[in-house]
Structure 1
Amino acid sequence: MRDFFINSLEKIVGVLIVLMSVSVVIGGLVVMFTSPYNGGGFIPGLVVLVGGGFYILVMGGFLYLGLGIYDNTKRTADTLEIRSRKG
């Protein structure tokens, strides 16, 4: 049952990263094509794209790092269990 939840979390993280990427691109384009008099323009849109991309990299990295730590811990525990049986 534990593996089901971990695998589901990996899928959810993947979908979340894709949704965040699409949102940042759409948001950046909307800001780029908004009138500069309303706070938009090319430079603010570029800032949204770069800032959003950086945010996605950091958050996605932390989420996948947590999942990687779980996988490494599980492999280590399995290896130690096999070694202890061999004695």
Structure 2
Amino acid sequence: MRDLFIGLFDKLVGVFVILLCIGVLAGTAGALLAPAPNGGLLPALAVFVIGSIYAILMGGMMYLFLGVYHNTKRTAEAIEELARR
């Protein structure tokens, strides 16, 4: 059952990262098409850069947490194998 939840979380992280990227692109388009005082090329570029950094950091942290889980699981299996010998 635990593996089911970890697998679902892995898929959920992938969907979340894709949604973050789509959100950054939509925010950039919105900032680019906004009226002159609040929009334009510079605000759109700022939204794109800051949003991209945020998406990379959040996605990276979530994948890092999943990697720690998988490495811990492999280490525990390797130790159990050594204990059996």
**TM-score, normalization by structure 2:** 0.97
* Aligned-CA RMSD value: 0.6
**TM-score, normalization by structure 1:** 0.95
Amino acid across the alignment from 1:83: L
Does 2:11 correspond to 1:11?
A: yes
Give distance in 1, aligned partners of 2:19 and 2:3.
24
Aligned to 2:65: 66
Map residues 1-87 of structure 1 onto 2, 5 A cutoff: 1-37=1-37, 39-86=38-85
Amino acid across the alignment from 1:69: V
Amino acid across the alignment from 1:47: A
What is the aligned-residue identity percentage?
Answer: 42
Q: Which runs of 5+ in 1 are unaligned?
A: none
Which 4+ runs in 1 deviate beyond 4 A? Answer: none
